[in-house]
Amino acid sequence: MACEAAFLVTRRESLAAAAFWNLVAGAALALVALLSGWTALGTSAPDQAATALLALHRAIGIVAVSVFAGLAAWRIVLRGRPVPRGRTVYMMLAFAAATALLTASVLGQVAVYQHGAGVAKHRAQ
């Protein structure tokens, strides 16, 4: 989003290109993270609080990845050019998806580091 906003101010094409590639790479990597989380589901037995956090983390993550994938598809259809019409909608969706992604990250961090979700518990011998 920073490159996109900087392009709006400066109109430098290099910033538009950077915004495009950041969006495409970010959407692809967010999908990888989503799939990674899905495969890790069930590898540990988190407590009830962690289970609730992970459910919210997953739901918000799915929404964020879906919005980023849609924005990336929108830009791909435009062949990487900046969005000419609907710029306000595009930027609002990007900001909302970034906020959702940050929220999902914090929820995942709390579930792992405060509740031990996804961490194998070792038995004492």
Q: Of 106, 103, 80, 76, which Cα lies nearest the Cα of 4? A: 80
Supply the pLDDT for residue 101. Answer: 92
Selection from 62-71, 81-90, 110-119 with the highest mean pLDDT = 62-71
Tell me how far apart the 2 most distant CA atoms of the chain are, in Å: 65
Supply the pLDDT for residue 111. Answer: 86
Domain residue ranges of the chain, discontinuous segments joined by +? 2-113
> Which tens digits make up the pLDDT trace of 15-34?
888 988 999 999 999 989 88
State percent of the chain over pLDDT 90: 36
Alpha-carbon 79 to chain mean position: 22
Supply the pLDDT for residue 69. Answer: 94
Mean residue pLDDT across the chain: 85
pTM (2 decimals)?
A: 0.79
Q: Could you write out the DSSP letters of every residue in 56-69?
A: HHHHHHHHHHHHHH
Supply the pLDDT for residue 120. Answer: 66
Supply the pLDDT for residue 71. Answer: 92
